Structure 1
Amino acid sequence: MHMGVLRRFGVFATVILSALVSTLLLGASSAQAAPTPLGKQNWVVSVAGFTEAAGSNYLRLGYLVFDPASNAVQHNFWTWSQRDFPVPVSSGDVYYCGQFQPGTNPRNNCPIKTAPGFTGDPNGHFTGTYAYNSTTGQAAITWTSSTINGSTTAVNLGETWAVSELHPGLGRMELVNDTYSITGGFAYGSNATLAQTGKASMATIRATQRTYLYEAHSWNNNKITTLRRGAAGSGSFGVGPTWNACTDGSCLGYVQKNAGCDAASCCGKPDAAGYDACVQKLAASGDRRFYYLTGDLGGRRNSYEFWCECLSYDGCYLLNSHVRPLLQVIDDAGAFQGWVGAEVSPDRSGARVMDGEYYGSFAMVA
Structure 2
Amino acid sequence: MTAPGPRILDLGTRIEPFGDPVGALPLFDATFAELRAQEILRSRVPAERLTFADHALATHAVLAAFAKATPGGRPAALALPAHPVFEALAAVSDVRRDGDRLIYDVFLDAPADADLDRLRAEAVPTLVALEPRTLARALPRLGPPPYTEPVLMSGAFALHVQHWVHVLWAAKAWVQALLPFAEGKRRRGSVIGPGADVHPSAYLEGAIIGAGAEIGASCVLRHCYVGPRSRLSDFTKLAHGVLGPDTHTLADATFEHVVALGGGTLTNLLLQDSLLGRQVFLTTGVVFWRDALGEPITVQHRGVEVDTGRKVLGGCAGHGSILGARTIVAPGRALPNRTTVVMRKAEGVFKVADAPPGTPMCWNEGALVPVTEVEPGYAPEELA
Q: Normalising by the residue count of structure 2, what TM-score does the alignment of the two structures yield? A: 0.21
Bigger Cα Rg: 2
Q: Which has the higher strand share?
A: 1
Higher relative contact order (CA 8 A, sep 6+): 1
Q: Normalising by the residue count of structure 1, what TM-score does the alignment of the two structures yield? A: 0.22
